[in-house]
A and B are shown apart, each in its own frame.
Chain A
Amino acid sequence: MNWRINRRALLRGSGAALALPTLECMLNGNGTADAQGQPIPKRFVTWFFGNGVLRSRWTPSTTGNVWSLTDQLAPLVDPARNIDLKSYVSVLSGFDVKTPNLRAHHNGACAILSGAPFIPLPPNGAPYNSKFGVKSIDQVAADFLAQGTRFKSLQLAVSKRFTQGEGPTLAYISHRGPDEPMQQEMNPAALFNTLFGNFTPAEPTDPRDRLRASVLDRVKEDAQRLRMKLSAADKLRLDAHLNGIAETRSRILSLPPVLTSSCVKPTKVTETNDDAGGIEPIENVSHLMSDLLVLAFACDLSRVASFQFSGSVGGHVFKWLSPNEPRDNEHAITHEFAQQNKVHDSVVFTMKCFAYTLNKMQKAPEGAGNLLDNTCVLMSSDLAEGYDHSNNDYPILVAGKAGGGLRSGLHVRKNGDNTSNVLLSCLKALGTGATSVGAGSGASSTAVSEILT
């Protein structure tokens, strides 16, 4: 692997302008922009888990900037693990999903990730299925933030037991459109290879990458010829394919990342996320995925990611939380009144893993601050509470400072405001210029002013 320390003027070959990694020594005096006046990039993450929380043990009792961590938010501060995130996280409570709850899980997942209702796929005798109605929020952000980074967005997942039998809505959290679900990477070793493994820059005399680009040009011509024969719906699918060809082409021609104190040469990752004794290695994989995500951001390989910790109606089993008694899968136990203490333990465990992701960002220096200063993380679930399948008083956290766009460390409580307002706030904080988000009864043009600077 050849890691270059100098910032090279530009890319090899031709094509769109590519984002270049930032070296700290090239930053301006106040650390908000580099010496050429290029601002430090803003990043966005959706961090998602299945089956909701217990609001009575989640929501802080006071609002504003004087609030205390509840049982379920407690992992955000943990001196033993050197974690202190309270001032970086805002709790948003009292928001309701406004899209019609035609099918629990489907509705919440789609609304909190896109601001729009889902599209039911007529089952006609087949099992219930649905798909997203519009692009998910991470993809809206990616259209603005990516700026030619090697990966327009990353889709990561930890638990493999997400639901595949009910269509794209429950299986995926990132969607470029109703028929464009973005498959998630669940294997840390494979993610490592995608991000860093094939980083063997060709010798200047080796025509390989130029020829790979030529191959893609031929493939593009084939696709365009085929496109003319297709129906409108298939044309859209082939357009997505053509976008993928263009992204792959510019990736091949882009330069390797530049080392900084945060963008360091990674140690090879070998974890493949296989079960051990029937148990998923959730904590380890979640940590590794977080490590790789932070490195991908620090090296500016990508600026947008979705992180599916666990799936909607997920069949994940946190057996290690009940080593001495039977424990059903997480979706099943949320339905049972007598099991709500176990649900609580699951939420706390999930929050510990979330805190790890945030802490890793906060500990990565960037400019005058850290990566979390320049990131917005939207954290939520497919339901408010699994037990009652509710879509009101939704559990939402917004973490990070979005390069100065977000005020953090607050508890903002509303009385039934649209959850999509939070999505719009993230887009505004990231400087996307968005003035509205979502569609149908989920649409919003009102941001949560309290968390915006």
Chain B
Amino acid sequence: MRHFSFPALACLCLVGCEGRIAGGLGIVGPSVDPESQLPAFNPGELRARLLIQIQYRNSIRNLLGSAAAAAVTPPADVVVNGLTVIGASQVAVSSSSVNRYEENAFQAAQAALADRGQNIIACTPSAFGDRVCMAQVINTLGTKAFRRPLSDQESTALVDLGIEAATAYKSFSRGVEFAIAALIQSPSFLYLVETGVDDGQQIKIDGYSLASKLSYFLTNSPPDEILFKAAQDGTLDTEAGLRAQAERLSATPEAEEAAQAFFDEYFELAASGNISKDSTVFGFFDAALAADMQAETHQTLRAILFGPQTDLRDIFTSRKTFLSTRLAKHYGLVQPSPGFQAVTLPDAHPRIGIFTQGAFLALRSHPAENSPTLRGKFVREKLMCQPVPSPPANVDTSLPIPVGNMPRTLRQRLDMHLSKPSCAGCHKFMDPIGFAFENFDAIGRYRTKEGDLNVDASGTLDDLGGFVDAAGLMEKLRSDPIVMNCLTRAAFREALGRVDLPEEARPVFRAQKKVESQGYRYQQLLVEVAASDAFRFGRKAP
């Protein structure tokens, strides 16, 4: 670990080798208060955030009902730094997206009025040009759509528009259709903009802004009535008030959905549902099997993150999984009853946690072959927050062809390739971790042999030392404070819509310590992030 040829890797080594002291933060020294060694807190700049696809659809459902939500096809999300919420706070919408929002607005409005027009138009218009009723409809919808009360100016403009359309069509309902279309194309609906009181140093984010920020973070949905009321009456202005709402929301089914969506992105599991393999090697691997693998990991994750008294580190070491008959057969297990069933594997079983499940293993492989490099890269980047440089230009990444027809395992060929100094710099950082998964092939089947040769799944994890197989690696990752710090940072990124800053290391550290000291509950991690100063305060961007 000390011989990297790249300066960047030398830095990583410092984090990797010495950073485990004091919660994975790179602080050395036994008697100092670790937090005091971190940079002073300074909140990040506030940016407008576009609703991502799932948030847009949930917001339409919340406002106009399921028929409207089913009628829309929002523009594709842009991923930056691995998360769509980061893309949504950095990039601008393109004109094709604006066009899509325009079409969606009318599709949603028409579907809603056809499906539940009487709920939406709660008053009885005396004529198609009834301004009082129009204002009532618009103010009710508008407050929900903008997640704050409408200003008089906004309200009047929308009522005028509604009456203009109602008059043109001699239909009150058509008037409402056009007013709804304007509401849900408005940037006040499409963007989350945080406002608050600026004391010159920092902005204390106001209740309505916090309500939306909290709600979209925890549930990918707009604030419900209870949360909206907490914004209205000032409850969210205190840390305790915000915390109470975060605790409530983090226990909802919507929070489970949102967590699954987050891990689909962060662990890139979304792609596992339609992964394909080379038909010459894995002819029987099909979309149904891939979908079962994805469902297995989804269900396992949800059971761990939201089950009673569960420890989020169980994602590394849980023996509980969910198998269909097809998937059980694929894994060489017997699962007699149809449908997905909870299964507890014996303690010595080689499958342990979500990273020895088919979805991860198949995703982090080539179409026809394993990739210890891709698997190791994932552990470094996503579980340890240590970025890996790309291969330098002008290197042949093909593995050496065995001399004299002597058979070699993939690992042996990779080891030969590690003898090249130009490759070894980075690959020593990834491959020794990735070798842990060599007992599983490119479609997630367990194996002890590769051809006629024995598989060697042993390796090392920096200064945490050696392991003999994936179970050994998982135990090390489970207890590694660097991993806990990384997962905490990932939650902050999702909440803030940007990469966490060095000046936010203190709130990150505090959240991590609190979760560590109280049983490693995932829901608590979400609450600690929401209640943190990094979440509640911001800085005005230039």
Contacts and interface: CB of A to CB of B under 8 A. Distances in A.
Interface of A: 101, 103-105, 121-129, 131, 152, 155, 164-165, 167-168, 171, 176-177, 179-183, 185, 194, 198, 207, 210-212, 214-216, 218-219, 221-223, 225-226, 229-234, 236-241, 243-245, 247-248, 251-252, 275, 277-279, 317, 319, 322-329, 332, 335-339, 387-390
A325 B489 CA distance: 43
A129 B80 contact: yes
Q: 9 smallest A-B Cβ distances: which pairs?
A: A278-B276, A244-B98, A231-B541, A336-B398, A326-B368, A240-B92, A389-B393, A335-B397, A244-B95
B398 A121 contact: no
Contacts of B195: 229
B385 A183 contact: no
Interface string B185-209: 1111001010100000000000000
Interface in B182-234: 182, 185-188, 191, 193, 195
A329 B442 CA distance: 14
> Chain B CB within 10 Å — which of A122, A234, A245 has the most?
A234
Interface in B494-542: 499-502, 540-542
A252 B397 CA distance: 52
Nearest to A207: B168
B394 A123 contact: no
Nearest to A317: B367
B279 interface: yes
A211 B281 contact: no
A312 B85 CA distance: 23
A247 B99 CA distance: 8
Contacts, number: 241
25 contacts: A125-B500, A126-B82, A127-B81, A155-B94, A168-B78, A179-B92, A180-B94, A183-B78, A194-B99, A212-B178, A215-B161, A216-B185, A219-B187, A221-B157, A230-B48, A231-B45, A237-B92, A240-B94, A247-B98, A252-B102, A278-B285, A278-B286, A317-B276, A328-B278, A329-B367
A279 B94 CA distance: 30
B503 to A, nearest CB: 11
Interface in B393-431: 393-398, 401
A243 B398 CA distance: 48
Contacts of A207: 165, 168-169
Contact of A319 (B75, B278, B397): B278
A13 B407 CA distance: 76
Interface string B90-101: 111111111100
Contacts of A238: 48, 92, 187
A326 B80 contact: no
A289 B299 CA distance: 39
A241 B97 CA distance: 9
Given A207-B169, A215-B185, A275 B94 contact: no
B277 interface: yes
A122 B157 CA distance: 43
Contacts of A252: 102
Contacts of B193: 226, 229-230
B158 interface: yes
A129 B82 CA distance: 9
B324 to A, nearest CB: 19
A343 B90 CA distance: 36
Contact of A232 (B79, B392, B542): B542
A275 B274 contact: yes
B141 to A, nearest CB: 14
B35 interface: no
Contacts of B489: 125
A140 to B, nearest CB: 16
B397 A336 contact: yes
Contact of B93 (A219, A244, A388): A244
A301 to B, nearest CB: 13
Given A183-B97, A241-B98, A248-B99, 6 more contacts: A124-B501, A218-B161, A223-B187, A236-B92, A275-B274, A328-B369
Nearest to A280: B276
B274 to A, nearest CB: 6
Contact of B47 (A194, A233, A239, A240): A233
Contact of B97 (A124, A125, A244): A244
B84 to A, nearest CB: 9
A243 to B, nearest CB: 6
Residue among B91, B369, B387 with the highest chain A CB neighbour number at 10 A: B91
Contacts of B154: 222
Contacts of A179: 90-92
Q: Give the interface SS of chain B, mostly helix, strand, loop or mixed.
A: loop
B76 interface: yes
Contacts of A251: 99
B55 interface: no
Nearest to A327: B278
Contacts of A234: 47-48, 541
A197 B425 CA distance: 54
Contact of B82 (A103, A165, A248, A324): A165
B337 interface: no
Contacts of A248: 95, 98-99, 102
B386 interface: yes
Interface string B263-278: 0000010000011111
Nearest to A124: B499
B80 A168 contact: yes
Contact of B387 (A128, A236, A332): A128
A335 B398 contact: yes
Nearest to A215: B182
Contacts of A244: 93-99
Nearest to B50: A237
Contact of A182 (B94, B185, B286): B94
Nearest to A221: B157
A240 B90 CA distance: 12
B397 A222 contact: no
Interface in B44-95: 45-48, 75-76, 78-82, 90-95
A121 B80 contact: yes
Contacts of B268: 165
Contact of B398 (A233, A245, A275, A337): A337
A241 B486 CA distance: 35
Interface in B428-458: none
Nearest to A338: B398
B322 to A, nearest CB: 24
Nearest to A224: B187
Contact of A183 (B94, B103, B280, B367): B94
B493 interface: yes
Q: From A125, A181, A236, name the one whose CB has the most chain B CB atoms within 10 angstroms.
A: A125
Interface in B349-402: 366-369, 381, 385-387, 389-398, 401
B540 A231 contact: yes
B390 to A, nearest CB: 6
A279 B279 CA distance: 10
A354 to B, nearest CB: 24
B181 interface: yes
Contacts of B103: 198
B47 A231 contact: yes
